[in-house]
Amino acid sequence: IRSVLADKKEALLFDMALETAMRLSEMFTLKTEDIDLKNRTIFLHHSKTGHRRQVPISSMLLAKTRSLRARRRVAVFRLVAGW
């Protein structure tokens, strides 16, 4: 599946969904400031249950998200037409 993904963001979206079991709605509301690289967690402000939660991230996902931290307060994924 990764071989047909158009860009790094799509591959990251796929890997994040696979490794964390996060919902698309959680991933599309994720901002770079919600990713804590030091503690290897993602902080979700609004989950399905309406409660906040933290999601652990693997070493592989950690490496892929490092480049996102350079841009603070930016949506990690953008919802565009066709999704």
Report how far apart, in Å, the C-alpha atoms of 77 and of each of 29, 32, 58, 73 are: 8, 10, 19, 12
| Dihedrals phi, psi of 44, to nearest 5 degrees | -105, 125
At 13 the pLDDT is: 85
Report how far apart, in Å, the C-alpha atoms of 29 and of each of 3, 4, 8, 64, 74 are: 26, 24, 18, 18, 10
pTM score, whole prediction: 0.72
At 83 the pLDDT is: 47
pLDDT along the chain (83 residues), means of 10: 68 88 88 89 86 92 75 60 48
At 31 the pLDDT is: 86
CA gap 21, 24 in Å, rounded? 9
